[in-house]
């Protein structure tokens, strides 16, 4: 909403000397949002000029340049010598004799652009002929402003060269642009803004002049144009239209222009002047917030019927679009048959006021906000009218608004008003709300007196009835017709607080008493992230959107459950319509970006949610009412529809894991680094995990480890990525990765660690080298050795692997060191040998291992 | 060496019977030779050779061997004399050895000197993402005061994300939020547009008093550019208790601002959000210029920075969650984590936060 300061000053007394910034601050203090302050930023001579001559030359760049002489009246710098102002202009949209806008040397345009006489294209230009954008009037820079086109023939009739163009274009004054929140529909009018400004000044008596009260407004009678309101299918019980005022003005001069002040106010408010009838409806809408529609009476057949659209009905709206209507759309129809307008949104082409229209029917109606909102959304059609109706228009101002329009059409169009006044009014009066006067104070934390509460609400236009009987705290408040947003206690509390001033709200730190700190799951995520950072991984936060063929790219089998992904109905890009089912899906993109930016050794991790819908499950969540808590079954069915979203951590690394340097060569990242990351995470959480050969996409089938808990629960996978996947993604060969289900690790680490005792006796070490078949897994062998080594074994570790002629084909030799310790004594050599022999015997029995 | 000290040693005739090698003079001379040789040894190797020549072999060792041939009466005297000479030569040796060892050690330490300015870092440290770090920092401010952290799903039901928050299907504010809908669009699922559904989930499952801070990822259908990102992060406060007022809301916000931006003032004004009534918008004093610089880049010269929206939890929201609005009141406050990062850390381009370039996060290490 754009608010010209001079217009505002007509409706409410501005504080002495208040300029745009002060007025904006006052309005902000009562809860309006300032968007911008326009105008008032041009200084110096900006005048009307008449083009006397021009000489056009084509420049080297192929563009034409006009060397003009312009009559700028007494502002001409050499006018006494009889020499006209010489100005160079790059535009060609004007003719000799046209009136244009000229800025002269010494002036400053918006943005601090100072004008001086300067040489351009070989000649001196004493000023500039202006385009719209240069004056901050709009975005247009296709040509200069030709006043006849810009203001209209009639408006320039009395304009002469040398006249002040600042005033002519309304540039001399400031226009405040405000952002109107959805609850403040009434502030989409000068009336509402003026009222708010008045409140910001303490609502002084007589300082606000309500333009919505029109003394000339006659009572309705039965002689008016026939109007019928019907609604067989109201939305949520609200009829589509509950008030329709129709007035007729005949004999308007179709060539009569709108008055200059009206045109300039419309321009300042961001609307383009069109014709008297249209300008008047827009002007009245800006003034009192009531959208009006003007029909060409001669295109109507005798009666208007407001009804819902029928299936299959169509209407071509004023914007030239032929629209298929929905039975929820509300229509203004001619005699019930021919659609004339989409009620409250946009008029139709057939009944439009044209340049030959002389008889006009003015509509001032009140439409249901939900109906208008839905139609506006359905047809993707947002108009000045729909914006206001969906936020709520004052239902009581319709007749006054119609009268304002009638008066203006009569005054400036020379028309005659019909005595018939149609006002079909089925609105009901608002019921009084029993307000506990202590509520504002209890909610806001400021001690408002009863008188203060009553005074503020009365100033706001509420009717406050004080019964003076028990319960004594209660008064009955009927909100004003323009405030549909005032419904219950807190609404009134906010009104009291904002008018009294939010700056009076104290600052009191609340003191909760039973906080239990971060949950285990929250701590786990911090531990995991920090541990990975310690191992050299950098955290990234990638977008969770993936392409439709991610499963193929990652080489998943057809029945891989991770292929089941949530699809977005309106993705940002058709290239990425799905939600990721693993973090690796999107982490690999981050890796690729780093590589493409010249990084070679990269280690990344991400910890975030993945979305895992059950394959084939219908994810439809019920939408219960909000008048009470939904029952547990309904909440459960909402939760059941929300897909499972476990948190995963993924790491990916490529290049050197240990960097090269003056100390020597680096060590290329390999599958062991991916497993180290897993062991880092599991170790940080003190969760024992088992590693076995795995086979899952997108890993290399021979270099993939499955990570499980002791009970077999799958935690994730780690290893080298599949060469084909790397190839498809354009990632370096041998890139390694791991992905872990952090929720699983969270559960597994939930119980506090119980300390197991450890011995302080001397340790006994013994080594054993075993020859066995190549396909025996080291992990399996180690487990068997450990299990068979008896109760005193402390650890078993593989320290050498040997392959060669000495051990034979398809065989390998593995050397293990075993450490033993008893809790209470030094073990003898014989004892240790016995333990070792038992371990070797078990390995022999299980795997055919032979001790070397 | 001193002369004889015992009465026996003074017995005339006995000394004259000793061989020359055992004479006091001879031993003194041998000792002196040894001392000279030790002193002349330039390193431990040479000292070892000198020891061989003067201790293990040489005159004193020779004298010692001759003792065995002496008559028993002379043995004691001779033994004592040779022993004294040996002690003296060993002491001389040890002194020289210690001196040479000390010199060697010192030389080795000098030789082992390295250039500590050479680069290190076979395995550099990684880094956390500053959004996560900022989120943790914000959370910790409140956890330290007894609040708890609540979380919820990112793919969320429309009821939790909109309806329960007093954003019915036809609410104008619901149209302003550019929502990602899960297919099919009428399935009632969206990517949450705000962290507020966490408030709903908390109130549905907990009894007041509730004091929770709810951080998380949220989604809007904006294209990525310098100032917009379709995926971003919010943090919200929710308190529901008996007797809470806008004063408590303001107190919580003031504390938050001080913890994040230092000791700066705040100002509040009325605003509108469907899920709160009354609603409030807070600005805080520019912590760079405190209003003293008309050309301040952070605040644009106004001296104030917009913080975020808040308000008292709408009665309708409490009701939808089964909390009696006549018994309890509550407040809620929301803030963008990216915005905190922009303000505190000078991150001006949103794209840096989402692209995952290691040179971005790397600047923050594990602290923000
Ligand atoms: Zn500043």
pLDDT tens digits, A711-735:
999 999 999 999 999 999 999 999 9
* Contact of A106 with A118, CB cutoff 8 Å: no
Task: Give me the interface pTM, i.e. the ipTM.
Answer: 0.86
Distance CA A86, CA A464 (A): 68
What residues contact residue A184 under an 8 Å CB cut-off, 6+ apart?
Answer: A31, A32, A192, A391, A485, B272
State the residue for tokens 């996978």: A717
- The yes-or-no verdict on residue A40 having pLDDT over 80 is no
Contact A534/B126, CB-based, under 8 Å?
Answer: yes
CB-based contact A611:B269 (threshold 8 Å): no
Rounded-to-integer distance, Cα A706 and Cα A740, Å: 10
Q: How many Cβ atoms are within 10 Å of A617's Cβ, its own excluded?
A: 12
Task: Compute the distance between CA of residue A825 and CA of residue A28 in angstroms, rounded to an integer.
Answer: 83
CA of B292 to the centre of ligand 1 (A): 7
* Res. B11: pLDDT tops 70: no
Cα A687 to Cα A519, A556, A708, A798, distances in angstroms: 18, 29, 10, 22
On whether the CB atoms of residues B159 and A621 are closer than 8 A, the answer is yes
- The Cα A698–Cα B14 span in angstroms is 103
Structural contact between residues A53 and A68, judged by C-beta atoms closer than 8 angstroms: yes
Amino acid A587: pLDDT: 97
Q: Counting Cβ atoms within 10 Å, is residue B196 exposed (0-12), middle (13-18) or buried (19+)?
A: buried
CATH of the domain spanning A46-168: 2.40.50.140
Torsion from C-alpha of A443, A449, A455, A461, nearest 10 degrees: 20
**Does residue A811 sit in helix, strand or coil?**
strand
The count of residues in chain A is 852
**Cα separation, B300 vs A782, whole angstroms:** 67
Q: What is the pLDDT of residues A279-315, one digit of tens each?
A: 999 999 999 999 999 999 999 999 999 999 999 999 9
For residue range A568-589, list pLDDT tens digits in order.
999 999 999 999 999 999 999 9
Q: Confidence band (pLDDT; 50, 70, 90) for B78?
A: confident
Minimal CA separation from A146 to chain B, in Å: 37
The model's pLDDT over A820-849, given as tens digits with 9 standing for 90+, comes to 999 999 999 999 999 999 999 999 999 999
Minimal Cα–Cα distance from B106 to chain A, Å?
26
Give the separation between CA B155 and CA A621, rounded to whole angstroms: 11
Tell whether A697 lies on the interface with B, counting CB pairs under 8 A.
Answer: no
| CB contacts < 8 A (A, B) | 303
Which range, A66-75, A470-479, A829-838, is most confident? A829-838
Nearest to A731 by CA among A608, A600, A606: A600
Residue B172 has pLDDT above 80, yes or no: no
Query: Span A213-226, mean pLDDT?
Result: 94
Euclidean distance between CA atoms A500 and A497, whole angstroms: 5
Rounded Cα distance, A771 and A812, in Å: 6
Query: Is residue B9's pLDDT more than 60?
Result: no
Q: Judge whether A503 is closer than 8 Å to chain B, CB to CB.
A: yes
Test the A interface: residue of B358, B365, B367, B368 with most A CBs within 10 Å: B358
Rounded CA separation A304/A301 (Å) = 9
Q: Are the beta carbons of A492 and A440 closer than 8 angstroms? A: yes
pTM value is: 0.85
The more confidently predicted of residues A40 and A348 is A348
Report how far residue A314's alpha carbon sits from residue A299's, in angstroms, rounded to the nearest whole number. 18
CB pair distance less than 8 Å for A519 and B246: no
Spatial separation of the C-alpha atoms in residues B244 and A510, rounded to whole Å:
8
What span, in angstroms and rounded, lies between the C-alpha atoms of A793 and B92?
54
Residue of A568, A586, A590, A661 to mutate, interface with B, max B Cβ within 10 Å = A568
**pLDDT for res B1:** 42
**pLDDT of B12-53, one tens digit each?**
444 446 777 788 888 888 889 999 999 999 999 999 999 998
Location of structure tokens 């409806």: A281
Q: Which sign does the torsion angle of CA A828, A831, A837, A838 carry?
A: negative
Q: Please report the pLDDT score of residue B294 as a whole number.
A: 80
A258-279 burial, b for 16+ CB within 10 Å, e for fewer? bbbebbbbbbbbebebebbbbb
The architecture CATH gives domain A2-39+175-200: 2-Layer Sandwich (3.30)
Residues of B in Cβ contact (< 8 Å) with A534: 125-126
DSSP-based three-state secondary structure for B211: strand
Segment among A170-174, A835-839, B7-11, B82-86 with least mean pLDDT: B7-11
Q: Does B3 touch chain A (CB under 8 A)?
A: no
pLDDT for A750 beyond 50: yes
Residue A110's contacts (CB-CB under 8 Å, 6 or more residues apart) are A41, A42, A134, A135, A136
Residues B58, B63, B67, B71, CA torsion sign: positive
> How would residue A43 be classed by pLDDT, with cut points 50, 70 and 90?
confident
* pLDDT given for residue A584 in this prediction: 97
* Residue A471 pLDDT greater than 90, yes or no: no
Q: Which of residues 42-61 of B touch A (CB under 8 A)?
A: none
**Domain residue spans of chain A:** 2-39+175-200, 46-168, 226-425, 433-504, 520-623+631-748, 764-851
* Contact flag A494-B157 (C-beta cutoff 8 Å): no
- Binned at pLDDT 50, 70 and 90, residue A172 comes out as confident
**Is any Cβ of chain B less than 8 angstroms from the Cβ of A494?**
yes
Cα–Cα distance, A475 to A466 (Å, whole number) = 5
Contact at 8 Å (CB) between B263 and B271? no
Which among B118, B176, B182 has the least Cβ separation from residue A569? B182
Chain centroid, CA B278 distance in Å: 44
Q: For residue A573, give both structure tokens.
A: 């890009």
Token pair belonging to B2: 């001193």
The answer for A 731-750 residues in CB contact with B (under 8 A) is none
Tell me which of A262-271, A393-402, B180-189 is least confident.
A262-271
Residues from chain A that touch B163, judged by Cβ atoms under 8 A, are: 623-624, 626
Residues whose beta carbons lie less than 5 angstroms from ion ligand 1: B 286, 288-289, 296, 298-299
B245 close to A (CB below 8 A): yes
Q: Longest C-alpha distance within chain B, in Å?
A: 137
Which CATH number among 3.30.70.380, 3.30.930.10, 3.40.50.300, 3.50.50.60 corresponds to the domain A764-851?
3.30.70.380
pLDDT in tens, A507-558: 999 999 889 999 999 999 999 999 999 999 999 999 999 999 999 999 999 9
Minimum distance, in Å, between the CA of residue B104 and any CA atom of chain A: 28
Fold of A226-425: Phenylalanyl-tRNA Synthetase; Chain B, domain 3 (3.50.40)
Closest residue to A532, CB basis, from B126, B248, B252: B126
What is the secondary structure of B235-256 as a DSSP string?
A: EEEEEEETT--HHHHHHHHHHH
What Å distances lie between residue A594 and A159, A526, A573, A657, B350, CA to CA? 65, 24, 22, 16, 17
CB-CB neighbors (< 8 A) of B211 in chain A: 510, 512, 515
Spatial distance between the Cα atoms of A152 and A274, rounded to a whole number of angstroms? 9
Which superfamily is assigned to A520-623+631-748 in CATH?
Bira Bifunctional Protein; Domain 2 (3.30.930.10)
Question: How far apart (Å, rounded) are the C-alpha atoms in residues A120 and A212?
Answer: 54
User: Do A46-168 and A433-504 come out as alike in CATH topology?
Assistant: no
Mutate to test the interface with A, among B131, B134, B182 (most CBs of A within 10 A): B182
Residues 270-329 of chain A whose Cβ lies under 8 A from any Cβ of chain B: none
Q: B294 C-alpha vs ligand 1 centroid, how far in Å?
A: 8
Average pLDDT along chain A: 93
Cα(A2)–Cα(A173) distance, integer angstroms: 12
Q: Which of A370, A535, A643 sits opposite B126 (nearest CB)?
A: A535
- Helix extents (H) in A501-535: 520-534
Q: Give the pLDDT confidence of B178-230 residue by residue, as tens digits.
A: 899 999 988 999 999 999 999 999 999 999 999 999 999 999 999 999 989 99
The DSSP code for A507 is -
Distance B285 CA to ligand 1 centre (A): 8
CB atoms within 10 A of CB B141: 16
Tell me the C-alpha distance between A178 and A27, whole Å. Answer: 9
Asked if residue A537 lies in contact with residue A650, where contact means CB atoms within 8 angstroms, the answer is: no
Instruction: Let me know: does A241 contact A367? Beta carbons within 8 Å.
Output: yes
End-to-end CA separation in angstroms for chain B = 78
What is the least distance, in Å, from the CA of A661 to any CA of chain B? 8
CA B315 to centroid of chain Cα atoms: 46
A433-504: CATH number: 3.30.56.10
């Amino acid at each position: 909403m754009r608010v010209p300061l001079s217009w505002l000053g007509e409706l409410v007394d501005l504080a002495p000397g208040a300029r745009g910034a002060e007025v904006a601050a006052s309005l902000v203090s009562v809860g309006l949002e300032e968007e911008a302050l326009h105008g008032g930023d041009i200084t110096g001579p900006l005048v009307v000029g008449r083009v006397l001559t021009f000489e056009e030359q084509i420049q080297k760049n192929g563009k034409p340049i006009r060397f003009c002489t312009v009559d700028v009246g007494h502002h001409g710098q050499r006018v006494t010598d009889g020499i006209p102002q010489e100005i160079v202009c790059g535009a060609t949209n004007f003719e000799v004799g046209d009136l244009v806008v000229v800025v002269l040397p010494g002036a400053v345009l918006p943005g601090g652009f100072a004008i001086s006489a300067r040489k351009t294209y070989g000649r001196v230009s004493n000023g500039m002929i202006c385009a719209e954008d240069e004056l901050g009037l709009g975005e247009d820079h296709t040509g200069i402003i030709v006043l006849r086109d810009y203001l209209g023939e009639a408006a320039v009739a009395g304009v002469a060269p040398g006249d002040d163009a600042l005033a002519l274009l309304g540039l001399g004054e400031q226009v405040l642009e405000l952002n109107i929140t959805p609850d403040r529909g009434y502030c989409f009018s000068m009336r509402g803004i003026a009222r708010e400004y008045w409140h910001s000044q303490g609502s002084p008596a007589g300082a606000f002049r309500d333009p919505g009260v029109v003394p000339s407004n006659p009572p309705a009678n039965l002689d008016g144009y026939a109007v019928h309101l019907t609604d067989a299918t109201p939305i949520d019980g609200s009829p589509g239209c509950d008030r329709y005022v129709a007035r007729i003005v005949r004999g308007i001069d179709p060539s009569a222009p709108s008055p200059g002040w009206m045109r300039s106010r419309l321009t300042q408010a961001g609307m383009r002047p069109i014709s008297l009838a249209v300008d008047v409806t827009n002007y009245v809408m800006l003034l009192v917030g009531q959208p009006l529609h003007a029909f060409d009476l001669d295109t109507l057949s005798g009666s208007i019927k407001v009804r819902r659209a029928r299936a299959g009905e169509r209407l071509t709206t004023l914007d030239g679009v032929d629209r298929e209507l929905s039975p929820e759309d509300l229509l203004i129809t001619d005699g019930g048959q021919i659609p004339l307008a989409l009620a409250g949104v946009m008029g139709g082409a057939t009944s439009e006021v044209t340049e030959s229209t002389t008889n006009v029917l003015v509509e001032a109606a009140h439409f249901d906000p939900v109906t208008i909102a839905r139609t506006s959304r359905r047809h993707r059609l947002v108009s000045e009218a729909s914006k206001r109706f969906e936020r709520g228009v004052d239902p009581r101002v319709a007749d006054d608004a119609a009268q304002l329009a009638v008066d203006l059409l009569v005054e400036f169009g020379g028309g005659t008003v019909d005595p018939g006044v149609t006002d079909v009014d089925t609105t009901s009066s608002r019921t009084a709300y029993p307000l506990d006067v202590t509520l504002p104070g209890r909610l806001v934390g400021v001690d408002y007196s009863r008188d203060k509460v009553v005074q503020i609400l009365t100033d706001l236009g509420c009717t406050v009835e004080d019964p003076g009987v028990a319960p004594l705290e209660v008064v009955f408040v009927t909100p004003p017709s323009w405030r549909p947003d005032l419904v219950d206690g807190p609404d009134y509390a906010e009104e009291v607080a904002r008018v009294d001033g939010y700056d009076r709200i104290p600052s009191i730190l609340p003191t909760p008493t039973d906080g239990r700190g971060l949950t285990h799951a929250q701590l786990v995520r911090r531990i995991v992230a920090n541990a990975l950072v310690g191992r050299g991984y950098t955290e990234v936060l990638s977008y969770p959107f993936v392409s439709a063929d991610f499963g193929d790219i990652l080489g998943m089998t057809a029945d891989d459950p991770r292929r089941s992904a949530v699809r977005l109905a309106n993705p940002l890009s058709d290239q990425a319509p799905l939600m990721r089912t693993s973090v690796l899906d999107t982490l690999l993109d981050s890796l690729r970006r780093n590589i493409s930016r010249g990084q070679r050794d990269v280690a990344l991790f991400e910890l975030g949610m993945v979305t895992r819908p059950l394959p084939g499950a219908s994810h439809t969540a019920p939408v219960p009412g909000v008048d009470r808590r939904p029952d547990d079954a309904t909440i459960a069915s909402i939760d059941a529809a929300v897909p499972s979203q476990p948190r995963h951590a993924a790491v990916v690394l490529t290049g050197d894991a240990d960097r090269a340097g003056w100390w020597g060569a680096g060590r290329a990242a390999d599958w062991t680094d991916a497993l180290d990351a897993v062991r880092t995470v599991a170790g940080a959480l003190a969760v024992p995990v088992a590693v076995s050969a795995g086979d899952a996409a997108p890993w290399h089938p021979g270099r993939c480890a499955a990570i499980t808990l002791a009970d077999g629960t799958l935690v994730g996978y780690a290893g080298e990525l599949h060469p084909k996947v790397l190839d498809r993604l354009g990632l370096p060969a041998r890139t390694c990765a791991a992905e872990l289900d952090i929720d699983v690790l969270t559960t597994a680490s939930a119980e506090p660690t119980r300390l197991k005792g450890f011995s302080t006796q001397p340790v006994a070490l013994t080594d054993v080298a075993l020859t066995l078949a190549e396909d025996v897994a080291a992990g399996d062998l180690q487990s068997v050795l450990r299990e068979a080594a008896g109760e005193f074994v402390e650890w078993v570790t593989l320290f050498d692997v040997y392959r060669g002629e000495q051990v034979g084909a398809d065989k390998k030799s593995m050397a293990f060191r075993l450490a033993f310790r008893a809790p209470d004594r030094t073990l003898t050599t014989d004892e240790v040998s016995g333990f070792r022999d038992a371990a070797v015997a078990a390995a022999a029995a299980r795997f055919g291992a032979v001790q070397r | 060496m001193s002369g004889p000290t015992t009465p026996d040693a003074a017995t005339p005739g006995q000394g004259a019977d000793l061989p020359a090698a055992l004479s006091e003079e001879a031993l003194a001379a041998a000792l002196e030779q040894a001392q000279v040789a030790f002193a002349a040894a330039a390193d431990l190797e040479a000292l070892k050779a000198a020891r061989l020549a003067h201790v293990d072999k040489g005159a004193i060792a020779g004298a010692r061997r001759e003792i065995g041939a002496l008559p028993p009466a002379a043995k004691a005297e001779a033994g004592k004399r040779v022993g004294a000479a040996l002690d003296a030569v060993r002491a001389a040796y040890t002194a020289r050895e210690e001196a040479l060892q000390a010199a060697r050690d010192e030389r080795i330490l000098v030789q082992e000197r390295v250039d500590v300015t050479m680069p290190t870092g076979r395995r550099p440290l990684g880094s956390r993402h500053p959004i996560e770090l900022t989120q943790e920092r914000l959370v910790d401010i409140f956890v330290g005061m007894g609040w708890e952290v609540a979380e919820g799903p990112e793919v969320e039901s429309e009821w939790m994300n909109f309806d329960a928050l007093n954003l019915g299907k036809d609410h104008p504010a619901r149209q302003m939020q550019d929502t990602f809908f899960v297919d099919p669009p009428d399935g009632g699922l969206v990517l949450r547009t705000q962290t507020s559904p966490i408030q709903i989930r908390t109130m549905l499952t907990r009894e007041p008093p509730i004091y929770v801070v709810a951080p998380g990822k949220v989604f809007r259908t904006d294209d990525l550019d310098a100032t917009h990102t379709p995926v971003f992060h919010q943090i919200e406060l929710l308190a529901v208790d008996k007797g809470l007022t806008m004063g408590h809301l303001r107190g919580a916000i003031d504390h938050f601002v001080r913890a994040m931006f230092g000791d700066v003032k705040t100002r509040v004004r009325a605003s509108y959000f469907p899920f709160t009534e009354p609603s409030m918008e807070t600005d805080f004093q520019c912590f760079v210029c405190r209003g003293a610089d008309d050309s301040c880049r952070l605040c644009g010269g106004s001296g104030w920075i917009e913080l975020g929206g808040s308000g008292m939890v709408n009665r309708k929201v409490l009701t939808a969650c089964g909390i009696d609005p006549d018994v309890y009141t509550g407040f809620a406050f929301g803030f963008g984590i990216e915005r905190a990062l922009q303000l505190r850390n000078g991150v001006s381009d949103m794209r840096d936060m989402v692209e995952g370039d290691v040179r971005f996060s790397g600047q923050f290490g594990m602290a923000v």
